[in-house]
Amino acid sequence: MFDVVVIGGGHAGTEAAAAAARRGARTALLSFDRHGLGAMSCNPAIGGLGKGHIVREVDAFDGLMGRAADQGAIHYRMLNRSKGTAVQGPRVQADRQRYAAAIQAMLAAQPNLAIVEGEAEALVLDGDHVAGVQLGDGTILPTRAVVLATGTFLGGRLFRGEERHLGGRIGERSATRMAEQLRSLGLPMARMKTGTPPRLNGRTIDWAKLDEQPSDTDPWTMSPMTAARPLPQIACAITRTTEETHAIIAAAFHRSPLFTGAIEANGPRYCPSIEDKIKRFADRNSHQIFLEPEGLDDPLVYPNGLSTSLPTDVQEAMIASMPGLERAVITLPGYAVEYDHIDPRALDGRLALGALTGVFCAGQINGTTGYEEAAGQGLIAGLNAAAYACDLSPVILDRASSYLGVMIDDLVLQGVTEPYRMLTARAEYRLSLRADNAETRLGGIAEAAGCLSPERLAHRRRRQEQQATLRERLGVVRTASDLARAGATIAQDGARRTAYEWLRFDGVTLAHVAPDAGQDCDAAMLAETLEDARYAPYVERQAEEVARLRADEQIVLSSKLDYAAIPGLSQEMIDRLSMARPATLAAASRIRGITPAALSAVLLYARKVAA
Amino acid sequence: MADTIFAVSSGQPPAAIAVIRVSGPAAFGTAERLGGRLPEPRRASLRTLKDGAGAVLDSALILCFPGPATATGEDLVELHCHGGRAVVAAVENALAEQPGVRRAEPGEFTRRALLNGRIDLAEAEGLADLLEAQTERQRRAAIHAVEGRVSQAVRGWMDQLAALSAMIEAMLDFAEEDDVPLDGAAVTRIKSEMHALAIAMLEVVERPPVDRLHDGIRVVLAGPPNSGKSTLLNLLVEREAAIVSPIAGTTRDRIEASVLRGGVAYILTDTAGLAEDTADVIEAIGVTRAQEAILQADILVWMADTPPPRADAIWLHSRADLPGREELPEGRRLAVRRDDDASVAGVWGVIAETAAALLPREDAIGFKRHQQEQCRRAAHALLAAPGADILLMAEELRVARQALAEVLGVSATETMLDALFGRFCLGK
Residue ranges of chain A whose pLDDT lies below 70: 611
Task: Give the type of residue at B400.
Answer: A
Ramachandran category for residue B171: left, alpha or beta (phi over 0 → left; psi -120 to 50 → alpha) = alpha
Helical spans, DSSP H, in A129-210: 176-184
Q: In the structure, what pLDDT confidence band is assigned to residue B282 with cuts at 50, 70 and 90?
A: low
Binding-site residue set of A for NAD(+): 267-281
Q: Which residue has the higher pLDDT, A222 or B126?
A: A222
Residues B70 and B168 in one domain: no
In a domain, B217, yes or no: yes
Residues of A with CB below 8 A from B166's CB?
A: none
Interface of B with A in 147-186 (CB under 8 A): 165, 169, 172-179
User: Number of C-alpha atoms within 13 angstroms, CB side, residue B48?
Assistant: 5
CATH of the domain at B293: 3.40.50.300
The pLDDT score that the predictor gives to residue A67 is 98
When scoring A549, A604, A608 by the number of chain B Cβ atoms within 10 A, the one with the most, hence best to mutate, is A604
Residues B196 and B219 in one domain: no
In a domain, B129, yes or no: no
pTM (whole model) above 0.80: no
CATH of the domain at B25: 3.30.1360.120
A540 touches chain B (CB under 8 A): no
Q: In the structure, what pLDDT confidence band is assigned to residue B254 with cuts at 50, 70 and 90?
A: low
Cα distance between residue A580 and residue A338, in whole Å: 25
In a domain, B168, yes or no: yes
Query: A12-26, A195-209, B22-36, B414-428 — which is least confidently predicted?
Result: B414-428
In a domain, B130, yes or no: no
Residues B69 and B10 in one domain: yes
Which of B2, B421, B427 comes nearest A551 by C-beta?
B2
Q: Which residue has the higher pLDDT, B82 or A341?
A: A341
Say whether B59 counts as a known binding-site residue: no
Asked whether residue B134 carries a pLDDT value surpassing 50, the answer given is: no
Pairing of β A335-342 and β A189-196: antiparallel
Cα distance between residue A141 and residue B252, in whole Å: 93
Please say whether the dihedral angle defined by the alpha carbons of residues A221, A223, A226 and A231, taken in this order, is positive or negative.
Answer: negative
Instruction: Walk across the sheet containing A157-160 and list its strands.
Output: A163-166, A157-160, A335-342, A189-196
The percentage of residues in chain B with a pLDDT greater than 90, rounded to a whole number, is 19
Among B323, B339, B355, the domain boundary falls at B339
Segment A207-223, tens digit of pLDDT:
999 999 999 988 899 99
Q: In the structure, what pLDDT confidence band is assigned to residue B246 with cuts at 50, 70 and 90?
A: very low
Cis peptide before B68 (omega within 30 of 0): yes
Binding-site residue set of A for FAD: 8-13
Residues B377 and B320 in one domain: no
Average of per-residue pLDDT across B44-48:
90
Pairing of β B45-50 and β B56-65: antiparallel
Residues B187 and B262 in one domain: no
Reference A420, options A388, A467, A373; nearest CA is A373
Give the H or E element holding residue A249.
helix A243-251
Strands (E) across A404-558 are located at: 477-479, 496-498
In sequence order, what are the beta bridge partners of A479? A496
- Taking an 8 Å cut-off on Cβ atoms, the answer to whether B107 and A290 are in contact is no
Reference B238, options B216, B261, B222; nearest CA is B261
When scoring B173, B177, B373 by the number of chain A Cβ atoms within 10 A, the one with the most, hence best to mutate, is B173
Cα distance between residue A498 and residue A513, in whole Å: 8
Interface of B with A in 81-100 (CB under 8 A): 100
Helical spans, DSSP H, in B226-340: 229-238, 281-296
Residues of A with CB below 8 A from B411's CB?
A: 414, 592
Domain that holds residue B254: 213-339
Task: Give the type of residue at B409.
Answer: G
* Cβ–Cβ < 8 Å for A296, A302: no
Among B58, B85, B119, the domain boundary falls at B119
Q: Which residues of B402-426 are buried (b: 16+ CB within 10 A; e: fewer)?
A: bbbbbbbebbbbebbbbbbbeebbb
Cα distance between residue A452 and residue A288, in whole Å: 42
Q: Which residue has the higher pLDDT, B173 or B261?
A: B173
Residues of B with CB below 8 A from A280's CB?
A: 425
Residues of B with CB below 8 A from A399's CB?
A: none
Cα distance between residue A609 and residue B299, in whole Å: 51
Asked whether residue B130 carries a pLDDT value surpassing 90, the answer given is: no
Q: Which residues of B234-262 are buried (b: 16+ CB within 10 A; e: fewer)?
A: ebbbeeeeeeeeeeeeeeebbbbbbbebe
Segment A51-71, tens digit of pLDDT:
999 999 999 999 999 999 999
Residues of A with CB below 8 A from B129's CB?
A: 567
Cα A605 to Cα A567, A586, B341: the distances in Å are 9, 16, 64
Interface of A with B in 574-603 (CB under 8 A): 592-593, 595-601, 603
Among B89, B119, B149, the domain boundary falls at B119
Residues B283 and B328 in one domain: yes
The percentage of residues in chain B with a pLDDT greater than 70, rounded to a whole number, is 74
Cα distance between residue A25 and residue B202, in whole Å: 59
Cα distance between residue A436 and residue A433, in whole Å: 9
CATH of the domain at B147: 1.20.120.430
Q: Which residue has the higher pLDDT, A359 or B340?
A: A359
Residues of B with CB below 8 A from A597's CB?
A: 106-107, 131, 134-135, 138
Reference B209, options B94, B88, B309, B98; nearest CA is B88
Residues B182 and B220 in one domain: no
Strands (E) across A384-540 are located at: 477-479, 496-498
Residues of A with CB below 8 A from B394's CB?
A: 425, 430
Q: How far is A70 from chain B (nearest CA, A)?
A: 22
Asked whether residue B143 carries a pLDDT value surpassing 60, the answer given is: no
Interface of B with A in 97-136 (CB under 8 A): 100, 105-108, 110-111, 114-115, 121, 124-125, 127-129, 131-136
Query: A240-254, A375-389, B127-141, B249-263 — which is least confidently predicted?
Result: B127-141
Which of B390, B395, B417 comes nearest A538 by C-beta?
B395
Asked whether residue B147 carries a pLDDT value surpassing 60, the answer given is: no
Cα A142 to Cα A2, A17, A20, A354, B22: the distances in Å are 6, 16, 16, 21, 59
* Cβ–Cβ < 8 Å for A431, A421: no
Residues B271 and B324 in one domain: yes
Residues of B with CB below 8 A from A305's CB?
A: 428
* Cβ–Cβ < 8 Å for A87, A430: yes
Reference B368, options B141, B137, B96, B92; nearest CA is B141
B82: helix, strand or coil: strand
Residues of B with CB below 8 A from A424's CB?
A: 172-173
User: By CA distance, what is B114's nearest residue in A?
Assistant: A604
Residues of B with CB below 8 A from A602's CB?
A: none
Cα distance between residue A483 and residue A513, in whole Å: 6
Residues B329 and B219 in one domain: yes
Cα distance between residue A450 and residue A444, in whole Å: 10
Q: How far is B157 from chain A (nearest CA, A)?
A: 19
- Taking an 8 Å cut-off on Cβ atoms, the answer to whether A601 and B131 are in contact is yes
Q: Please name the residues in contact with B353: beta carbons below 8 A apart, sequence gap of 6 or more.
A: none
In sequence order, what are the beta bridge partners of A4? A27, A145
Residues B263 and B300 in one domain: yes
Domain count, chain B: 3
Residues B174 and B235 in one domain: no
In a domain, B124, yes or no: no
In a domain, B125, yes or no: no
User: By CA distance, what is B169's nearest residue in A?
Assistant: A425
Asked whether residue B248 carries a pLDDT value surpassing 70, the answer given is: no
A6: helix, strand or coil: strand
- Taking an 8 Å cut-off on Cβ atoms, the answer to whether B121 and A607 are in contact is yes
Is the ipTM value over 0.95, yes or no? no
A182: helix, strand or coil: helix
Cβ atoms within 10 Å of B288's Cβ, excluding its own: 12
The pLDDT score that the predictor gives to residue B210 is 47
Residue B330: φ, ψ to 5°: -65, 145
Query: What domains lie within chain A, and their CATH numbers?
Result: 2-195+338-448 (3.50.50.60), 199-337 (2.40.30.260), 454-541 (1.10.10), 553-610 (1.10.150.570)
Which of B100, B138, B169 comes nearest A595 by C-beta?
B138
Which of B172, B392, B410 comes nearest A424 by C-beta?
B172
Please say whether the dihedral angle defined by the alpha carbons of residues B236, B237, B240 and B242, taken in this order, is positive or negative.
Answer: positive
Segment B297-338, tens digit of pLDDT:
888 999 888 888 888 889 988 888 888 888 888 888 888 887
Residues B49 and B67 in one domain: yes
Cα B54 to Cα B38, B96, B312: the distances in Å are 17, 16, 19
Average of per-residue pLDDT across B173-179:
76
* Pairs of residues, one from chain A and one from chain B, whose beta carbons lie less than 8 Å apart: 145
Average of per-residue pLDDT across B206-232:
71
In a domain, B344, yes or no: no
The pLDDT score that the predictor gives to residue A408 is 98
Interface of B with A in 331-390 (CB under 8 A): 389-390
Say whether B93 counts as a known binding-site residue: no
In a domain, B298, yes or no: yes
Reference A247, options A333, A171, A314; nearest CA is A314
Q: Which residue has the higher pLDDT, B368 or A547?
A: A547
Residues of A with CB below 8 A from B177's CB?
A: 288
Q: Please name the residues in contact with A340: beta carbons below 8 A apart, sequence gap of 6 or more.
A: A154, A155, A156, A179, A182, A183, A189, A190, A191, A365
When scoring B101, B114, B135, B146 by the number of chain A Cβ atoms within 10 A, the one with the most, hence best to mutate, is B135
The pLDDT score that the predictor gives to residue B133 is 46
